[in-house]
Amino acid sequence: MNEAREQQASWFQRFLLPGFAFKAVVIGGGYATGRELAEFFLPSGPRGGLAGMLLAMVLWSIICAITFALARATRAFDYRSFFKQLLGPAWIAFEIAYVLFVVLILAVFGAAAGAIAAATLGLPPIVGTIALALAIVLFATFGNASVERLFKYVSFLLYGVYILFMLLAFGRFGGQMAEGFATPAPWDGWALGGLTYASYNVVGAVVILPVMRHMTSRRDAVIAGLVAGPLAMLPAILFFTCMVAFYPDIAAETLPSDFMLLRLNLPIFHLVFQTMIFAALLESGTGAVHAINERVSAVWHHRHGRELSPRARAALAATLLIGCMFIADRFGLVALIASGYRILAYTLLAVYVVPLLTIGIFRLVRGSAARPAFGEA
pLDDT tens for the chain, residues 1 to 377: 444 444 577 888 899 999 999 998 888 766 877 888 998 999 999 999 999 999 999 999 999 999 999 999 999 998 989 999 999 988 998 888 888 778 878 887 888 888 888 877 889 988 998 999 999 999 999 988 899 999 989 999 999 999 999 999 999 999 999 999 988 888 888 999 998 888 878 888 998 998 888 888 999 999 999 999 999 999 999 999 999 999 989 988 877 888 999 999 999 999 999 899 899 999 999 998 999 998 898 888 888 888 888 999 999 999 989 878 776 556 655 566 556 666 777 788 889 999 999 999 999 988 755 555 545 53
Q: What is the pLDDT of residue 41?
A: 94
Residue 253 lies in a domain: yes
Query: Which CA distances in Å does 38 have to 35, 136, 177, 364?
Result: 5, 27, 15, 37
pTM: 0.85
Residue 6 lies in a domain: no
How far is it, in rounded angstroms, from Cα 369 to Cα 377? 15
Three-state secondary-structure class, residue 354: helix
Q: What is the pLDDT of residue 369?
A: 52
Three-state secondary-structure class, residue 309: coil
Query: Cβ contacts of residue 8 below 8 Å, gap of 6+?
Result: none
Query: How many structural domains comprise the chain?
Result: 1
For residues 209 and 79, is the Cβ–Cβ distance under 8 A? Answer: yes
Residue 331 lies in a domain: yes
Residue 131 lies in a domain: yes
Residue 362 lies in a domain: no
Residue 18 lies in a domain: no
Residue 182 lies in a domain: yes
CATH of the domain at 191: 1.20.1740.10
Q: What is the pLDDT of residue 4?
A: 44
Range of the domain at 201: 24-357
Residue 373 lies in a domain: no
Q: What is the pLDDT of residue 304?
A: 83
Q: Which parts of the chain fold into alpha helices (H)?
A: 2-8, 11, 17-33, 35-40, 45-74, 79-87, 92-116, 125-141, 143-182, 190-201, 204-207, 218-243, 256-264, 267-304, 310-330, 333-348, 354-355, 361-366
